């Protein structure tokens, strides 16, 4: 596939909290935004999907793949995966494994997406643990936080490989030439934190010829943009992500309530409304679409369960760009060149 060729993106229509309507709408919007560049393959109950499809538009490349099952948001993914061969997320990853599409987007059960990807696609050779990366806005750009949910417990070598994968993603998807890598810790000193954190620091320090490692960073540094990539275990990353979402909500809601209290604030609000709207959009996860599952053989984008049509549109576009940049291939090449992670695991 060349960078200019059409990218086929399978969209799991049955996943997510908002139902097929928003997911179909977002997928079609992505294809319409990049006519001739993106084809969306809608995976799910065909009759239900057809009910949300508008009249055919020659600029929008779309097809439907029917499946009869889905995995619910609250279900334990590993236990149901093998019994649900016709579930939408399973079928979507199968299409990717069979090279019928170049990327998958799902707003469904995260555990199901990870399980389907690991079993259906397998890990990139040399990668020990795939990880979920998410984009966090900063005043000057964005920071990639990895992992945010795939691995609750990690070893030092896993954190080292998260840095490798995060570097590839930041460099090729967000055009950061030499991304700075920071290890999330409770202090800047190399002796801070757990034994795993200290071991990871030494691994990263020794690999500075391959990674632009700037040392430990603290929680306050994430939003400051001190590092372009911040690495941590999935438990910590997920807590940070959910907390950040609540902070954005609190800031917007508090501002709205304060402005409603008196006339002066209301008058000021009229002047500040465009700025506040831009700020809200900047902090909104919908602008970034979804989080890639890095380290599997294929491009898999995991979207928020509450994704709107706009979020799905951006997720599809991120998936298409990641496929054009062949992120999974670049990760494989990176690991094959730098054997430090494999040596540490041995």
User: Looking at residue 78, what is its pLDDT?
Assistant: 65
Residue 273 has pLDDT above 70, yes or no: no
pLDDT of residue 87: 87
Contact 106, 15 (CB under 8 A): yes
Tell me which residue of 147, 167, 175 sits closest to 333, measured CA to CA.
167
Percent of the chain with pLDDT over 90: 53
The predicted structure's pLDDT at residue 337: 80
Residue of higher predicted confidence among 217 and 275 = 217
- Residue 262 — pLDDT band, cuts 50, 70, 90? low
Helices within 260-299 (DSSP H only): 263-283
- The predicted-structure confidence for 39-49, as pLDDT tens digits, reads as follows 999 999 999 99
Task: Quick: pLDDT tens for 143-165.
Answer: 999 999 889 999 999 999 999 99
The strands making up 7-12's β-sheet, listed across from edge to edge, are: 61-66, 38-44, 7-12, 103-106, 299-303, 290-294, 131-138, 141-146, 229-231, 180-184, 212-217
CA dihedral 272, 273, 275, 278 (to 10 degrees): 170
Q: Work out the mean pLDDT of the chain and round it to a whole number.
A: 85
Which one is the CATH code of 1-127+295-338: 2.40.110.10, 3.90.1010.10, 3.10.20.30, 3.40.718.10? 3.40.718.10
CA 252 to chain centre: 24
- Report d(CA 61, CA 59) in Å as an integer: 7
Three-state DSSP state, 118: helix
Domain segments of the chain: what residues? 1-127+295-338, 128-286
Average pLDDT score over residue span 206-235: 92
Structure confidence at residue 2 (pLDDT): 45
Residues 73-96: tens digit of each pLDDT: 666 666 666 677 888 899 999 999
Which has more confidence, 139 or 158?
A: 158
Domains 1-127+295-338 and 128-286 share a fold: yes
**Contact between 117 and 24 (Cβ < 8 Å):** no
pLDDT at 3: 44
Task: Output the pLDDT for position 277.
Answer: 62
Mean pLDDT lowest for which of 100-114, 215-229, 239-253, 281-295?
281-295
pLDDT for 7: 94
Report the pLDDT averaged over residues 22-30: 92
| Token pair listed for 243 | 């907390």
In sequence order, the β-bridge partners of residue 296 are 123
User: pLDDT at position 184, please?
Assistant: 96
In sequence order, which residues have a C-beta less than 8 Å from that of residue 201 and are 6 or more positions away? 183, 185, 190, 193, 215, 216
pLDDT of residue 279: 58
Residue the block writes with tokens 């911040």? 230
Q: How far is CA 3 from the centre of its chain?
A: 21
Q: Superfamily assignment of 128-286 in CATH?
A: Isopropylmalate Dehydrogenase (3.40.718.10)
Helix intervals (H) in the chain: 19-33, 46-50, 77-81, 88-97, 110-120, 156-173, 195-206, 219-222, 234-259, 263-283, 309-324, 327-337, 340-345
In the prediction, which pLDDT does 56 show? 80
Average confidence (pLDDT) over 203-222: 91
pLDDT at 340: 59
- The half-sphere exposure of 102 on its side-chain side, counting CA atoms within 13 A, is 24
Q: pTM here?
A: 0.87
């Amino acid at each position: 596939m060349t960078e200019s060729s059409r990218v086929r993106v399978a969209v799991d229509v049955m996943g997510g909290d908002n139902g097929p309507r928003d997911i179909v709408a977002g997928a079609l919007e992505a294809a319409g935004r990049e006519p001739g560049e993106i084809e969306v393959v809608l995976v799910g109950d065909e009759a239900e999907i057809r009910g949300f499809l508008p009249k055919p538009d020659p600029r929008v490349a779309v097809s439907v793949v029917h499946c009869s099952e889905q995995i619910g948001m609250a279900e334990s993914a590993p236990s149901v995966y093998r019994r649900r061969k016709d579930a939408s997320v399973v079928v979507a990853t199968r299409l990717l494994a069979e090279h019928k599409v170049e990327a998958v987007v799902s707003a469904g059960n995260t555990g199901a997406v990870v399980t389907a990807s690991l079993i259906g696609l397998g890990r990139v050779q040399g990668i020990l643990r795939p990880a979920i990366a998410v984009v966090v806005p900063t005043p000057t750009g964005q920071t990639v936080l990895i992992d945010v949910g795939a691995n609750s417990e990690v070893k030092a070598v896993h954190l080292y490989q998260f840095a490798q994968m995060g570097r590839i993603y930041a460099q090729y998807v967000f055009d950061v030439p030499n991304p700075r890598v920071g290890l999330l810790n409770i202090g800047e000193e190399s002796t801070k934190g757990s034994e795993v954190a200290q071991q990871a620091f030494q691994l990263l320090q020794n690999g500075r010829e391959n990674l632009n490692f700037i040392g430990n960073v603290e929680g306050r540094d994430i939003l400051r943009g001190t590092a372009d990539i911040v690495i941590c275990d999935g438990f910590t990353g997920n807590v940070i992500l959910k907390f950040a979402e609540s902070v954005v909500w609190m800031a917007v809601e508090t501002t709205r309530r304060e402005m409603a209290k008196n006339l002066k604030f209301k008058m000021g609000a009229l002047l500040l409304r465009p700025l506040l709207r831009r700020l809200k959009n900047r902090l909104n996860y919908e602008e970034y679409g979804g989080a890639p599952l890095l380290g599997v053989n294929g491009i898999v984008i995991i979207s928020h369960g509450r994704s709107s049509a706009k979020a799905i549109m951006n997720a599809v576009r991120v998936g298409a760009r990641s496929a054009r940049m062949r992120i999974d291939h670049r990760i494989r090449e990176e690991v094959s060149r730098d054997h430090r992670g494999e040596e540490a695991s041995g």
